[in-house]
Structure 1
Amino acid sequence: MATPRTLRTRARILDAALDLFERQGYDATTVNQIADAAGITPMTFFRHFPTKDAVLVTDPYDPLIAQAVGAQPADLPPLERTRLGMLAALGDITPTEDATARRRVALVTQSPSLRAAVAIGTEATQEAIVEQLVADGVDPLDAAIAASACLAATTAALLAWGTAPSDVTLADLVHRALAQLALEKP
């Protein structure tokens, strides 16, 4: 579990990076500039984020999502458990986290090179979901299919959100995307 100091440092790095990326552009910003703006050393930066792109594409939600998937009734099909779990986890995102995520997503949508980093970040989330479902007795292939389908829908919503009007929330778009996968359409 991350300490309060670690969380504060990560938040300071994220804020400094976002400010610099928005002002200078992602490609023109260096790790050294981010570290200077955050009041840390480059070594400290790399203790918190393995790469510059990780600042934009990693998040602390994988365990939360996996736990929310695991909390769904085991008698539901894997796709429905995953879909409902992701919706439940989404309910725990605060307005501040939502605003920070919008800044991150807007930057990612402006840089095609960062889309590959999004795919790598999505793999970690998929692994967490699959591990949870398999631990609950779901066949590994069925678990991977359920996680992939829900994450593909969520990623599409996330990337659309970067250019959506400011009154549209991430929750709005993710609910819409995951509704496409519902067993029973609303």
Structure 2
Amino acid sequence: MPAESTNALISEEPASRPRPTLRERKKERTRRTIRSEAFRLFREQGYTETTIEQIAEAADVSPSTFFRYFPSKEQLVLADDLDPVMIEAIDRQPKDKPILAAIRDATIEAFGAMDPEIFEFEKNRVALVYSVPELRGAVAREFERNITLMSGIVARRLGRPDTDFEVRALVGALTGAMFALVGDEPFSQEQIIRVITFLESGMRI
């Protein structure tokens, strides 16, 4: 999710989502088809070798339709569909729950409710991001995006500005640890829980 859209998704109180309209469901199916066909081609012939035209043809859409859903091939890979799910799960945590405990319990809730197919897709997506040299620059931008996203979530729960020193330091430690470990386990609930538990202990070694 682009950083500039973060505040739009983080409302003061969580609201239940209305049932998607037929048009919205069709658009989501098209979007998923484009991504699934793209990743199939990436596996078969490599990320660099795969063109947008090939992805569009495999998904049975025009290149212009591709660009209506994704501004670039890189953004197709980086788009994180779990951001809204995690935001809603954190919002559902009791307001008096410590922030790290809220993130931990929200992670357990979000992973528990995740469709196995979506989990496998996200696992492959994250692995691709960190394995393709051409996406190295995108990894840095992804790091910054996560800092911005999580700072907004933590700051709102604590009633502080998202530029607050302690907010940024906590989020930096959490996000930095996740990125440092991603090579060992690119997409794992257990890894996230271990990081949060470590931070809760005061990072005692």
- Common topology (TM > 0.5): yes
1:76 CA drift (Å): 4.6
Q: CA 1:179 to 1:91, structure 2 compared with 1: closer, same or farther past 3 Å?
A: farther
1:177 aligned partner: 195
Q: CA 1:67 to 1:55, structure 2 compared with 1: closer, same or farther past 3 Å?
A: same
1:138 aligned partner: 160
1:69 CA drift (Å): 2.8
How do residues 119-138 of structure 1 correspond to structure 2 at under 5 angstroms?
119-136=140-157, 137-138=159-160
**Paired residue secondary structure (2:71):** coil
In the TM superposition, what whole-angstrom CA distance separates every residue of 1:45-104 from its partner, at most 9, and x where no partner exists?
Answer: 111112111222211222222233333343455444444444443333221112112222
Give the length in aligned residue pairs. Answer: 179
**Paired residue secondary structure (1:180):** helix
Give the distance between the partners of 2:91 and 2:50, measured in 1 at CA. 40
Does residue 35 of structure 1 match 2:66?
Answer: no
Q: 1:155 aligns with which of 179, 193, 196?
A: 179
2:147–2:175 contact (8 Å) kept in structure 1 = yes
Does residue 61 of structure 1 match 2:79?
Answer: no
- Residue segments in structure 2 that go unaligned for 5+ positions in a row: 1-16
Q: 2:136 aligns with which of 115, 128, 131?
A: 115
Residue identity in the other structure for 2:71: P
* Alignment RMSD: 2.7
Give the distance between the partners of 1:77 and 1:102, measured in 2 at CA. 28
Give the distance between the partners of 2:120 and 2:136, measured in 1 at CA. 20
In the TM superposition, what whole-angstrom CA distance separates every residue of 1:131-151 from its partner, at most 9, and x where no partner exists?
Answer: 233333034323333333222
1:66–1:128 contact (8 Å) kept in structure 2 = no
Q: CA 1:145 to 1:67, structure 2 compared with 1: closer, same or farther past 3 Å?
A: farther
Return the TM-score normalized by structure 1. Answer: 0.78
